[in-house]
Chain A
Amino acid sequence: MPTDESTPATTSPAQQQEAAPGSGLARLHLTGISKRFGAVRAIRNADLTVRTGQVHALVGENGAGKSTMIKIISGVESADTGQIEFEGAQVAISSTTDAMALGIATVYQEPQLFAELTVSENIFTGREIRKGGRVDWTAQNDRVVELLELLGLPGKYATAAVGTLSIAEQQQVSIAKALAGNAKVLILDEPSAILTDAEIDVLFTVVRRLTASGVSVIYISHRLDELFRIAQQVTVMRDGQTIGTYPIEELSVRQIAELMVGGILSDDRAERVVPEGEPTLVLSGLTRTGKFHDVDVAVKRGEIVGLYGLVGSGVSEIAACIYGMDRATSGQILLNGKPITPHSPQHAQRLGIALLPANRKLEGMFSFQSIAFNISAGHLGLLSKFGIFVDRAREKTVARDLIKRLAVKTPSERQAIGAMSGGNAQKVVLARQLVERPEVLVLAEPTQGVDVGAKEEIHRIITELAESGSAVLVVTSDLAEALRISDRLQVVRGGTTTVEFGPEATQVDVLAAAAGSVDEEGNAA
């Protein structure tokens, strides 16, 4: 069902300029920005105006173009078209050095730090304070101690090796690093994803102090609720375009979610009847300290359960744990009522859990090998004579049969998988699972980087697998997919399963639940 647009009329950025609250002047003004990566149009004709002394939130679903936007502003990528004005003057930002010279500093999601160097050195790498030919360590340390104390870290950290600090502390060091260059525009890319509430409070105090002194902050976050605590303006991106810029007080979490999702996607999922019975795969109170906790999921024979969460919610870590790549610290994984502790992906498969890993390129396939090889890998027992020699003829027959069944576009089963498109390669990796009908199938991000047509076929294959009796768990951060494919949908937020939705849920409901504010309008539960 289409989501209706009940949000405030979309205002163009130009109109917003005049209407914007806070008398901040435009410090950074981007117009008509476009960027292509090969055939993918990452950003189309995007506009963004960031004012002096304001926190400007940039939101959008995964793949909406936020990261590309940030990369263009921080000089990592350059735009194909469009103009950038900085403090009223047109500028060209063609390198990170250019951006830093303007006073644009970026704190990336993953701390970009050097473990073996001290905090002080990390902060000043690339712009050391020099005295004569050498680095003035004392001056650097003095400045760093000041910055650390501003951020609420002890000054003595200045001379500690970064590798000895926790991830959260490293994140704060990254912020100190950005501040050291007297930043005028500070870009924070998902800073809260790896911070605790207490640390977020510290972060917000710092951000407010900075904006009071005239720094502009571009704030990217999936946790929509926190935007209301810190941002003044919010720009929503969808499909590479900037949908609009709004003063934050004009919107609710739900309205932002609606703008992010748009009126797209009619729900064309077929009604499926899930057979009754005891659950085959159960996660019960599954916890991995620091990653996720108290995760409860149950999947029945023939059922497809979606596990949906935003980046940083812990959803991918849960998948890694079921795969046996990580160990749970407490809680249980039950297979047909019996507790199992997979300690490696191979072990998980031997226990009867078929896996489709998220990072196909790294984990799922043998790029230089043929389709036939990729399908038979892992089933060599089944396809071998006397369990030793691979039965080539049989391998070929099985491969051909599956290629036909899955509509894999390839001239021959001897084609190397690395040369195929993402969607086709994914189908081959799925085909591997079809050789033996698995009792339990766990898929992580099954259609990541796959085109629309292939996506549909992959969804069809997954449904087929469920219909043939597999219990299917789909772990995904793709909202449309999660809704489309799941019989039931569990939302993961803040490292734990929170709300469950049935097939009648809308994207807005689910997104609002995943991004915070479950009960804001009382309709997400």
Chain B
Amino acid sequence: MSTTLGQRPGAGSPAPEPRKALGQSRIRVLPSAISGQEFVLLGVIAVLWVILAFATPAFFTAGSIQPLLVAMAPIALVGVGMTIIIITGGIDVSVGAAIMVCSVVTAKLLVDQGLVLPLAVLVSVLVGGALGLINGLLIAYGRVHAIIITFGTANIFLFLGLQIFGSSTVNNIPQTFDVFGRGVAGRTFGIPHAFLITVIIAAIAWWYLRHTAGGRHFYAIGGDAHAARLAGVRVQRRILLAYLITGLLVGLASCFVIAQGTSTLDQSVGTGKELAVIAAVVIGGTSIMGGRGSVLGTLLGALLVQTVTSGVTQLGWNSQLSDLFVGIFIIVAVGADLIRERARRAK
């Protein structure tokens, strides 16, 4: 007879109980619709809003909330794609530069060719898609880590964007994109179109990630890419798709970015946006190690970041404080993720 290792959990009982008392959220037919971190985020946002409402009576007015929602839209929209990328275990630091390329190409065409709205959106989305495709092909088939590839392409996109700019600004942009803007043209029943579109796309992405085989495969890849390949998941195609989707969303978000400005676009467009997007995703509870995350969390993360930014402005504080607060939120979110991960490993 062979001796077995002693004191194994579950030894001797054919139907051992789970080792930890599992909360109801773990016993489910579907992965839980809303995670603990998302509840926490909702709570934090609610608290901030209440504080802001008391501090500046103007905060809880349509005139204050609407611009907030318009401002968060591009970050949240790109965040939807970034969530998928980070779930696969990747990252894309080139989205800021990609927004610049899409914006300048589209703005120039609006000025020079007077494109109609649908065509202008289409151009921007296609340009973004092309940039995303470049990232995706290099990462999926080049077998180099995403951060290296996208750091490289970010610089190339930046160069491209600045070349297209030519002069320092693009002026006299027609009002074609007002429908996505802060003005009256940008709202229906008081809801900003940019925000509405973002929520609709996020809802589709949420459903896709949650209910389709293709969507679940992103999680499998982030959990263990090798195991996913063995299970028959087309890993490279999925990864390519994640960056392509992000590229397309960057294209659409660029239209929102143009709409937010005046009739002028300057060379700082898109600068630092990649960090805001990654912050929203990470604060939203998506694990930077891959395998776990949700679009809902990212929406909340973007809303939190924008609330902090707008709040600091409205309180008349030094605007640099918002960077401090966002930084703290990121570290708290990542810290919570790490603690949870270690707790699981330690079992």
Contact = CB atoms under 8 A, between A and B. Distances in A.
A152 B15 contact: yes
A398 interface: no
B342 interface: no
B233 A126 contact: yes
Interface in B227-242: 227-233
B286 to A, nearest CB: 11
A50 B232 CA distance: 24
Q: Which of A116, A198, A496 has the most CB of B within 10 A?
A: A116
A289 B230 contact: no
A373 B239 CA distance: 40
Q: Dominant SS at the B interface?
A: loop
B55 interface: no
A196 B212 CA distance: 37
B29 to A, nearest CB: 5
Contacts of B4: 196-197, 494-495
Interface string B1-39: 111111111111111111110100011111100000000
A266 B153 CA distance: 60
A160 B26 contact: yes
Contacts of A138: 29
Contacts of A289: 6-7
Nearest to A98: B232
A159 B8 contact: no
B20 A164 contact: yes
Interface in A96-115: 96-97, 100, 106, 108, 112-115
A244 to B, nearest CB: 25
Contacts of A291: 5
B258 to A, nearest CB: 33
Nearest to A149: B15
Interface string A131-160: 001110110010000000000111011011
B294 to A, nearest CB: 11
B323 interface: no
Interface string A219-263: 000010110000000000000000000000000000000000000
A321 B161 CA distance: 56
A314 B7 CA distance: 14
Contacts of A225: 1-2
A164 B19 contact: yes
Q: How large is the interface on A (under 10, 10 to 19, 20 to 34, 35 or more residues)?
A: 35 or more
Contacts of A135: 211-213, 216
B4 to A, nearest CB: 5
B222 to A, nearest CB: 8
B10 A169 contact: yes
B284 to A, nearest CB: 15
Contact of A198 (B1, B13, B30, B231): B13
A516 B2 contact: yes
A197 B1 CA distance: 10
Interface string B174-218: 000000000000000000000000000000000000011100110
Contacts of A113: 223-224, 227
A166 B213 contact: no
Contact of B3 (A154, A156, A290, A494): A494
Nearest to B232: A126
A293 B232 contact: no
A153 B216 CA distance: 24
A166 B8 CA distance: 9
Contacts of B3: 493-496, 498
Contact of B11 (A159, A198, A292): A198
B301 interface: no
A125 B20 contact: no
B219 A116 contact: yes
A165 interface: yes
A128 interface: yes
A198 B5 CA distance: 11
A166 B228 contact: no
A177 B15 CA distance: 18
Nearest to A106: B230
Nearest to A496: B3
Nearest to B6: A293
B236 to A, nearest CB: 13
A418 to B, nearest CB: 19
Contacts of A226: 2
Interface in B57-89: none
A181 to B, nearest CB: 9
Given A154-B15, A225-B1, A516-B2, A112 B230 contact: yes
Contacts of A169: 10, 16
B228 A160 contact: no
Nearest to A515: B2
A221 B331 CA distance: 46
A166 B10 contact: yes
B266 to A, nearest CB: 42
A498 B4 CA distance: 12
A292 B5 contact: yes
Contacts of B10: 166, 168-169, 196, 199
Contacts of B5: 196, 290-293, 314, 494-495
Nearest to A111: B227
Given A198-B12, A495-B3, A128 B213 contact: yes
A114 B291 contact: yes
B212 A96 contact: no
A161 B26 contact: yes
A115 B2 contact: no
Contacts of B18: 157, 160, 164-165
A227 to B, nearest CB: 11
B230 A152 contact: no
Interface of B: 1-20, 22, 26-31, 211-213, 216-217, 219-220, 222-224, 226-233, 291-292, 344
The 3 closest A-B pairs by CB, nearest first: A114-B223, A494-B3, A126-B232
Given A126-B233, A133-B212, A225-B2, 16 more contacts: A112-B231, A114-B224, A117-B31, A118-B28, A125-B217, A126-B217, A126-B220, A126-B228, A154-B17, A169-B10, A196-B10, A199-B14, A202-B14, A225-B1, A226-B2, A494-B3
23 contacts: A97-B232, A114-B223, A114-B291, A115-B223, A116-B223, A121-B216, A125-B231, A125-B232, A126-B231, A154-B17, A159-B29, A160-B18, A164-B18, A166-B9, A166-B10, A169-B10, A196-B8, A199-B11, A223-B2, A290-B6, A291-B5, A292-B5, A493-B2
